[in-house]
Amino acid sequence: MVLPLTAAALTYILGIAILVRAWQGKLFSRFSFFYSYLIYLLGTGVIMNLVDFLDGRHYPLVFWLRFLTLVVAEFALLVEIGDHIFAPYPAIRNLGRLVTVAMTLVFSTVYVIPSFYLHRPSSVAVLDLVMRSAVTKCAVLVALLVVARFYGVRPSKTVAGLALGLALYLAVNTANFALAESYGRELYGPIFSTIGPLSQALCVLIWTVALWRPEPDMEPARAVAAPREFSEPLPNRLGKFNTVLTRLFRK
């Protein structure tokens, strides 16, 4: 009981510290989805504890409502991470969105939605749904980083920290919910309720470190060093590359 409470308290302290730093550094507009998510996480956490304190009967309902909305909001967080990875490069600026939407659609179709048709108790179905959505988000995150690697694009340390924190939280969620589904509430319940807050605290700790001194999406030195001999506008150059390659191979 002490460990989950300590983890929850740590999450609140670090979360508030992140928000204060963002206020000082005027960062709210730069990471709008992220800060909205964090404010929602902390705000609804307070409401949830108040409900528990005032009327414990409604606590499970509030808990699951909050958790499921957070599960959906994490997709927006992935979109923001993708945007920040590719934003400085006009030719692939929307690649993060494309990867996120495409991967989400594919995983939803072949992996998440089919689980709705399985007959089982609703508690198990909810655990399974959360676990599958966590796996989907892990896959999206890995795909974003693989694509960034393919194009030789380096996320800033701030964005890398956001991605690492989220990956850790999602991965622990995946394992935690899978174990809860397999072993049941009686056997795994106490561990489940400890691991959840701990993973959240660890995630927020990584975010705090990443956002304490936020870096620009692209290092200024790299942005200045890039021009080289390019004089043509980028759309013309991309068009020329495509035309030349197509003509060359139409032999």
Partner 1 sequence: MSTAFLYSIIALLTIAVVALLLRRSHGDDAPETNSRQEFANGLWESQGLGLAERILDPSDYFWLRDELGFPALAESLRDHRRHLALKWLNAVRSSFSEVVRTPEAASQSRTIGDTADSWQLLGATLRFHLLLSYAIVVVRFFGPYHRLIPSFTWMGAPWRVLPQSELERGSGLRRSA
Q: Is 94 in the site for partner 1 (CB under 8 A)?
A: yes
State CA 83 to chain mean position distance: 12
One residue of 155, 196, 197, 214 binding partner 1 per CB under 8 A: 155
Length of the chain: 251
Q: How far is the CB of 197 from partner 1 (least distance, A)?
A: 17
Site for partner 1 in 214-243 (CB under 8 A): 218, 222-224, 226-230, 233-235, 237-242
Q: How far is CA 30 from CA 36, 100, 202, 230, in A?
A: 11, 19, 23, 29
C-alpha 50/C-alpha 220 separation (Å) is 46
Q: Between vectors from CA 89 to CA 35 and to CA 212, what angle results, nearest 5°?
A: 30
**Position 80: which residue type?**
E
Compute the least distance from the CB of residue 85 to partner 1, in Å. Answer: 10
- Among positions 169-188, residues that touch partner 1 (CB under 8 A) are 170-172, 174-175, 177-179, 181-183
Binding mask 112-141 for partner 1 (x = CB under 8 A): -------------------x---x--x--x
CA 47 to centroid of chain Cα atoms: 23
- Kindly state the helix (H) or strand (E) to which residue 54 belongs, with its residue range: helix 32-54
Is 105 an interacting residue with respect to partner 1 (CB under 8 A)? no
Residue 199 beta carbon to partner 1: minimum distance, rounded to whole angstroms = 10
d(CA 99, CA 75): 12
Six token digits for residue 16: 């508030």
249 makes contact with partner 1 (CB under 8 A): yes
| C-alpha span between 105 and 67 (Å, rounded) | 21
State the residues that interact with partner 1 by CB under 8 A.
88-95, 98, 131, 135, 138, 141-142, 145-146, 148-149, 151-155, 157, 160, 163-164, 167-168, 170-172, 174-175, 177-179, 181-183, 218, 222-224, 226-230, 233-235, 237-242, 244-251
